[in-house]
């Protein structure tokens, strides 16, 4: 039985094509992936991301626990600030990539990948039990929240019509608790598209109300509902990692280009020793962005060659709706990771030309 | 959804138009709609001999790669040269401008195994 978000009926009414995404029945497209993608780049798009998980960490020991659990340095967070971070296993592989919200010194919220929610919660309980963190409470509050992402250059203007919150005062990776269409909402200036925009968290039973209010507020700006298809092409153009592709239990954050959220100078966190060793020995493979130089579309798991030898594998690929040619991400031997390096992608029986490209692919 | 009366259809959602011993082949309106935005089409070279039911090329949407299967056997005598640069013709005109290739029919009897428009429509409604 597939899980459903509170907006399931709304999507079906909008004639979205529904798919099984990690056990959730989700809209993959409404009118077409390319049209939806370009709406986000040029105007605005509204995504139902209620499948994402939310886990609350509270109590006097919350920060100490989070510092051990996650790779980034949560001690630098101020109230109302968001941080991108990762949870690692002791061997350095990734449990999940997450965003962390700080409400105050004793109240934090993790937003985690939908299909990892139960695994993450179990892992957090394990880390909590293994360490000495008195006064920490963990709550999986995923079912309490609906989450919408409003993304695109028109996002702020649209949201401003149905909130009194001074949106211009909310900086990138900052959030504010206000009202949206009269509904108490965490208004977070974050996203997964590379565009300006907001992620909105509010009570699950208000989902239809807020969705409809936003669609109405954005009608004149070309706001479109956007499915998971365009969510994937938008994040790929920005080289944002997707768990299960660029990150997994077998891929470390150092390989995936997430050294910037892996604070090895913190005294301790789960996975630190393994990652330090990996760094000292030299990270053997790197995540690169590449563009096709010949016709063809790269896809996950296609082999990557250089000088006739396999040097890696594609983790994600697509036709870029913005650039109109094939782009992809690949884990390749470090020697082949320099920008401009010629690669060949194994597409069916052929090796098709590509080269390592500067990322993000689309400059914002 | 269109089901032109003059065409024959396969269960893999290809269509065939037979004229003067020659079969023009493409994918159906139902197939293009299910695929979504077509962004890449790979076709065999002229002269390739196709075998019924075997994959002769691929159609890629933004999200997925799909094989296309030969509805009849025979030699490819022409391919649609427009498709590499304008694969979206498969979406906008699946039965006309989005045609894929022309085959010199090896065995007319094979046409009897294909569905007519009514049978294909019933098949699609049952599947969908």
**SS3 annotation, chain B:** CCCCCCCEECCCCEEEEEECCEEEEEECHHHHHHHCCEEEEECCCCCCEECCCCEEEEEEECCCEEEEECCCCEEEEEECCCCCCCCCHHHHCCCCCCCCEEEEECCHHHHHHCECHHHHHHHHHHHC
Beta-carbon contacts of residue A324 (< 8 Å; ≥ 6 apart)? none
CATH of the domain at A245: 3.30.1360.120
Q: Could you tell me where the beta strands, DSSP code E, fall in A152-252?
A: 175-180, 183-188, 197-203, 224-225
- Host H or E run for residue A39: helix A33-42
For B8-108, CATH gives 2.40.50.100
Q: Do A232 and B39 touch (CB under 8 A)?
A: no
- pLDDT for A363 beyond 90: no
Beta-carbon contacts of residue A328 (< 8 Å; ≥ 6 apart)? A236, A289, A290, A292, A298, A299, A314, A315, A316, A317, A318, A345, A354
Within 8 A of B42 by CB-CB distance, chain A residues are 348
Q: Which of A263, A283, A303 is the last residue of a domain?
A: A283
Residue A78 per-residue DSSP state:
P
The token pair at A41 is 């780049």
Beta-carbon contacts of residue B26 (< 8 Å; ≥ 6 apart)? B14, B15, B90, B94, B95, B98, B99, B100
CA pair distance A86, A227, nearest whole angstrom:
25
CATH of the domain at A306: 2.40.30.110
Residue (of A58, A121, A39, A127) closest to A89 by Cα position: A127
Residue where the block lists tokens 């900052």 = A174
- Clarify whether residues A189 and A118 are in a common domain: yes
Q: Do B63 and A28 touch (CB under 8 A)?
A: yes
For A337, the domain range is 285-364
Q: What percent of chain A has pLDDT over 70?
A: 100
Domain count, chain A: 2
pLDDT digits (tens, 9 = 90+) for A126-175: 999 999 999 999 999 999 999 999 999 999 999 999 999 999 999 999 99
Q: Do A318 and B62 touch (CB under 8 A)?
A: yes
- Clarify whether residues A196 and A265 are in a common domain: yes
Kindly state the average pLDDT of the residues A228-255: 98
- Clarify whether residues A333 and A237 are in a common domain: no
pLDDT digits (tens, 9 = 90+) for A271-320: 999 999 999 999 999 999 999 999 999 999 999 999 999 999 999 999 99
Quick check: bond before A360 cis, omega within 30?
yes
Q: Which of A283, A304, A321 is the last residue of a domain?
A: A283
Distance from CA of A295 to the nearest CA of B (A): 8
Do residues A4 and A24 touch, judged by C-beta distance below 8 A?
yes
Distance from CA of A33 to the nearest CA of B (A): 7
- Clarify whether residues A199 and A239 are in a common domain: yes
pLDDT score, position A274 = 98
Q: Which of residues 205-264 of A touch B (CB under 8 A)?
A: 229, 232-233
- Host H or E run for residue A79: none
Q: Do A295 and B84 touch (CB under 8 A)?
A: yes
Q: Which of residues 132-161 of A touch B (CB under 8 A)?
A: none
Beta-carbon contacts of residue B96 (< 8 Å; ≥ 6 apart)? none
Q: Which of residues 317-356 of A touch B (CB under 8 A)?
A: 318-319, 321, 348
- Clarify whether residues A141 and A60 are in a common domain: yes
pLDDT confidence of A196, banded at 50, 70, 90?
A: very high
CA pair distance A178, A185, nearest whole angstrom:
5
pLDDT score, position A210 = 98
Nearest residue of A to residue B85 by CA position? A295
**A34 lies within 8 A of chain B by CB:** yes
Within 8 A of A29 by CB-CB distance, chain B residues are 36
Do residues B71 and B32 touch, judged by C-beta distance below 8 A?
no
**A32 lies within 8 A of chain B by CB:** yes
Q: Mean of the per-residue pLDDT values for chain A? A: 97
Q: Do B62 and A233 touch (CB under 8 A)?
A: yes
pLDDT score, position B63 = 87
pLDDT confidence of A364, banded at 50, 70, 90?
A: confident
- Clarify whether residues A266 and A359 are in a common domain: no
CA pair distance A338, A309, nearest whole angstrom:
17
Of A33, A232, A318, the CB nearest to B36: A33
Q: Do A32 and B60 touch (CB under 8 A)?
A: no
- Clarify whether residues A323 and A250 are in a common domain: no
Within 8 A of A319 by CB-CB distance, chain B residues are 39-40, 60, 62
Residues facing A287 on adjacent strands:
A331
Of A229, A295, A348, the CB nearest to B63: A229
Of B36, B40, B84, the CB nearest to A297: B40
- Clarify whether residues A12 and A58 are in a common domain: yes
Q: Mutating which of A17, A19, A229, A236 best tests the B interface, going by the most B Cβ atoms within 10 A?
A: A229
pLDDT confidence of B128, banded at 50, 70, 90?
A: low
Give the number of other Cβ atoms within 10 Å of residue B6's Cβ: 11
- pLDDT for B18 beyond 80: yes
Nearest residue of A to residue B37 by CA position? A32
The token pair at A47 is 């995504």
Residue (of A16, A15, A7, A10) closest to A50 by Cα position: A7
Within 8 A of A299 by CB-CB distance, chain B residues are 65
Residue A311 per-residue DSSP state:
E
Residue A54 per-residue DSSP state:
E
Q: Do A319 and B40 touch (CB under 8 A)?
A: yes
Q: Which of A242, A261, A283 is the last residue of a domain?
A: A283
Of B40, B58, B62, the CB nearest to A33: B62
Angle at A316 between CA A123 and CA A51, to 5 degrees: 45
Of A229, A295, A296, the CB nearest to B62: A229
- Clarify whether residues A278 and A291 are in a common domain: no
Nearest residue of A to residue B65 by CA position? A299
- Clarify whether residues A272 and A319 are in a common domain: no
- pLDDT for B127 beyond 90: no
Residue (of A179, A146, A142) closest to A163 by Cα position: A179
């Amino acid at each position: 039985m597939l899980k459903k978000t509170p907006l399931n009926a709304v999507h079906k009414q909008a004639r979205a094509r529904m798919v099984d995404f990690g056990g959730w029945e989700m809209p993959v497209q409404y009118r077409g992936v390319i049209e939806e993608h370009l709406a986000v780049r040029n105007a605005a798009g509204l995504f139902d991301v209620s499948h994402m998980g939310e886990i609350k960490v509270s109590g006097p020991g919350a920060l100490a626990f989070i510092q051990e659990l996650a790779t980034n340095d949560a001690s630098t967070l101020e109230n109302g600030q968001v941080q991108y971070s990762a949870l690692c296993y002791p061997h350095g592989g990734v449990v999940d990539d997450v965003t962390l919200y700080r409400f105050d010194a004793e109240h934090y919220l993790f937003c985690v990948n939908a299909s990892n929610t139960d695994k993450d919660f179990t892992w957090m309980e394990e880390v909590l039990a293994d360490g000495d963190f008195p006064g920490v409470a963990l709550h999986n509050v995923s079912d309490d929240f609906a989450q919408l992402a409003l993304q695109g250059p028109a996002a702020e203007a649209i949201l401003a019509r149905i909130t009194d919150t001074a949106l211009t005062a909310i900086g990138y990776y900052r959030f504010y608790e206000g009202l949206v269409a009269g509904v108490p909402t965490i208004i977070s200036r974050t996203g997964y598209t590379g565009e300006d925009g907001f992620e909105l968290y509010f009570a699950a039973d208000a989902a239809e109300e807020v969705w409809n209010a936003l669609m109405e507020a954005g009608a004149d700006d070309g706001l479109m509902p956007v499915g998971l298809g365009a969510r994937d092409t938008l994040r790929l153009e920005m080289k944002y990692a997707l768990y299960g592709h660029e990150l997994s239990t077998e891929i470390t954050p150092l390989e995936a280009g997430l050294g910037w959220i892996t604070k090895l100078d913190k005294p301790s966190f789960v996975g630190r020793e393994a990652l330090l060793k990996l760094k000292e020995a030299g990270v053997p493979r790197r995540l690169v962005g590449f563009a096709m130089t010949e016709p063809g579309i790269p896809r996950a798991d296609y082999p990557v060659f250089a000088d006739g030898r396999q040097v890696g594998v594609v983790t994600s690929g697509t036709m870029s709706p913005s650039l109109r040619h094939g782009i992809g991400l690949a884990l390749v031997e470090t020697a082949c990771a320099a920008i401009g390096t010629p690669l060949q992608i194994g597409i069916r029986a052929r090796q098709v030309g590509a080269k390592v490209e500067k990322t993000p692919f689309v400059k914002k | 959804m269109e089901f032109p009366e003059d065409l024959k259809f396969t269960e893999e959602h290809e269509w065939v138009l037979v004229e003067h011993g020659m079969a023009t082949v493409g994918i159906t309106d139902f197939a293009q709609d299910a695929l979504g935005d077509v962004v890449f089409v790979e076709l065999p070279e002229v002269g390739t001999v196709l075998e019924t039911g075997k994959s002769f090329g691929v159609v890629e949407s933004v999200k997925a790669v799909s094989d296309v299967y030969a509805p009849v056997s025979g030699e490819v005598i022409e391919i649609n040269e427009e498709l590499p640069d304008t694969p979206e013709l498969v979406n906008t005109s699946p039965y006309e401008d989005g045609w894929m290739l022309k085959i010199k029919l090896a065995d007319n009897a094979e046409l009897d195994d294909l569905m007519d428009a009514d049978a294909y429509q019933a098949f699609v409604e049952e599947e969908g």
